[in-house]
Structure 1
Amino acid sequence: MTAGIPDSSVDTSKPHPARVYDWLLGGKDNYPVDQEVAGKLPAEARANAARNRAFMHRASAWLAGQGVGQFLDIGTGIPTAPNLHQVVQGVTPHARVVYADNDPIVLRHAEALLAGGPEGATDYIHADVRRPAEILERAARTLDFTRPVALSLIALMHFLPDDQDPYGITRRLVEALPGGSFLVLSHGTADQHPELRQETESAYKRGAIALRMRTRQEVEPFFEGLELVEPGLVTAPEWYRDEPAPVYERSGFYVGVARVP
């Protein structure tokens, strides 16, 4: 184990996407079972994870700069500085942030590391995105759902196969948001590197982790009924607003930010 103090609630016999992602980002809060999956992924997976996280930082900072003061981040993953609340509270100190994830190790680190600034608020929910009503009910203890909320689904929905209704889950979450809210979503794809699809899918399959990478056409329905912010649905390095354009590189993620009308 490389994750600090043991926790009996953490199943170290099975890999978890949050801990695999932690390894890809250079973190140390993962276990041999996670490292085994990550080590079988294409070498480009680490760079793709970094590009995806950089998108999250840009999108969150831009939304905070637009006056959005509430954020619901589902599929948080293990904290890696700067975390979302640090980004948004650096722009809007009074911002309120709720994190949700279903891995107990994330809860353990969240309790220690995800402390908000004195003017804002930060909370963590141990819950599964497949139970959206539970997340919304508990998030309402910190967030005011009569005012705009930015919902973040970052590198999450590709772990839900079609039979788990990822589009319906996203729709139920978005429908709970008032007008002027936003959906921030990134989703794994092999469109720009089809030669790596089999290697990627095989690595996760050996770890018994469901993975459903989707094409651009298959990612579009997540934003149905919403108003995509420019530049629209693009790859991770192509999404930026006020800052200089990132270096363009091929990407394993489609990303988008869309406004709830």
Structure 2
Amino acid sequence: MVTGTPDLPSTPPIDTSKAHPARVYDWLLGGKDNYPVDEAVGRQLPPEAHDAARQNRAFMNRAAAWLAGRGLDQFLDVGTGIPTEPNLHQIVQRTVPTARVVYTDNDPIVLRHAEALLVSRPEGVTDYIQADVRRPDQILEHARRILDFERPVVLSLIALMHFVPDDQNAHGIVRELVAALPSGSHLVLSHAASDLYPELAEQVTAEYAKGGIRLGFRTRAEVARFFDGLELVEPGLVTATEWVKDVPAPRPEGSGIYAGVARVP
């Protein structure tokens, strides 16, 4: 089924004078739902940024499929971005048709695409909330209407937290979201690295800053802190191309993205 959408506001105006991470990411993936200001940022990024977007997306696909294969049937995807098939609900409902998925993003253009995100299999449920990760209380309040927090929930934070600098309490936000999850839940997180390719990281950070977007790339140790108190699933916290479970590994290539999946004990 598709849930009703009483919490979807009328579409707020889209500010086309400022770049937005979701739209820059869409441009990097070859999408069409972006504006000249977003393309301008994307064109100044090094070629490796395109690789990182592709690698990140592939990690999400593998992690979601693996978790669905283990019977997980509730997903909270924060920082959804502009729909790019296959979307998370399409991946997990292939294995678990009854899966419930709640999507969240703060870009009004994603709201305009909410109908695509809400096309669930008849047996399952998808829903969408316009919200910012910096308001975890608002996200959780809505998610509890759709998901049963007495049973395991998968929290997906894909390429999101490096857009939340340290002075905006990035680790505290994740702790608050994870604290709401019952035992057996999982955190799926990918994050741009500051220490794998430092010069590239500095270049990317500088180009995003020109577009008015602050970045907080982090070292492996700093990314690992997001998983404090959780049980990392093998192969642990690795690069996006190295995180593989029960499927053939992608071709070897360098990656500036850390990725990991961890279980809530």
TM-score normalised according to structure 1 size:
0.96
- Conserved 8 A contact 1:23-1:35: yes
Q: Which residue of 1 aligns with 2:86?
A: 82
40, 43, 52: which one aligns with 1:39: 43
Task: Say yes or no: does 1:100 pair with 2:107.
Answer: no
Share of identical aligned residues, percent? Answer: 68
Shift in Å, 1:74: 0.1
Any gaps of 5 or more consecutive residues in structure 2? 1-10
Quick check: 1:214 aligned with 2:214? no
What is aligned with 2:191?
Answer: 187
What's the CA shift for 1:248? 1.6
**CA RMSD across the alignment:** 1.0
2:85 counterpart letter in structure 1: A
Q: Secondary structure at the residue paired with 2:146?
A: coil
Distance 1:191 1:123, change over 3 A: same
Q: 1:178 aligns with which of 166, 182, 188?
A: 182
Between the aligned partners of 2:198 and 2:179, the Cα distance in structure 1 is 34
Residue deviations 1:136-191 (CA, integer Å, cap 9, x gap) = 00011111111000000000000011010110000000000000000000001143
The answer (yes or no) to whether the contact 1:161–1:212 under 8 Å persists in 2 is yes
Report what 2:76 is aligned to: 72
Q: Indicate which of 241, 246, 249 corresponds to 1:242.
A: 246
**Are the equivalent residues in 2 in contact too, given 1:79–1:114 (CA < 8 A)?**
no
Q: Which moved more, 1:243-252 or 1:18-27?
A: 243-252
Pick one of 59, 63, 67 that aligns with 2:63: 59
1:100 & 1:94 partners in 2: Cα distance?
20
CA contact (8 A) 1:73 1:100 kept: yes
Unaligned runs of 5+ in 1: 1-6
**CA–CA distance in 2 between the matches of 1:114 and 1:233?**
31
Read off the aligned partner of 2:80 and give its amino acid letter. T
Counterpart CA distance in 1 for 2:226 and 2:202 is: 24
Shift of 1:201: 1.1
Q: Secondary structure of the equivalent of 2:253?
A: coil
- Give the partner amino acid of 1:227: E
8 Å CA contact 1:154, 1:185 repeated in 2 = yes
Q: CA offset at residue 99 of structure 1?
A: 0.2
Match among 237, 249, 255 for residue 233 of structure 1: 237
TM-score where L is the length of structure 2: 0.94
Q: Does 1:163 align with 2:167?
A: yes
CA distance in 2, matches of 1:180, 1:113: 26
Q: 1:139 to 1:200 in 2, by over 3 A?
A: same
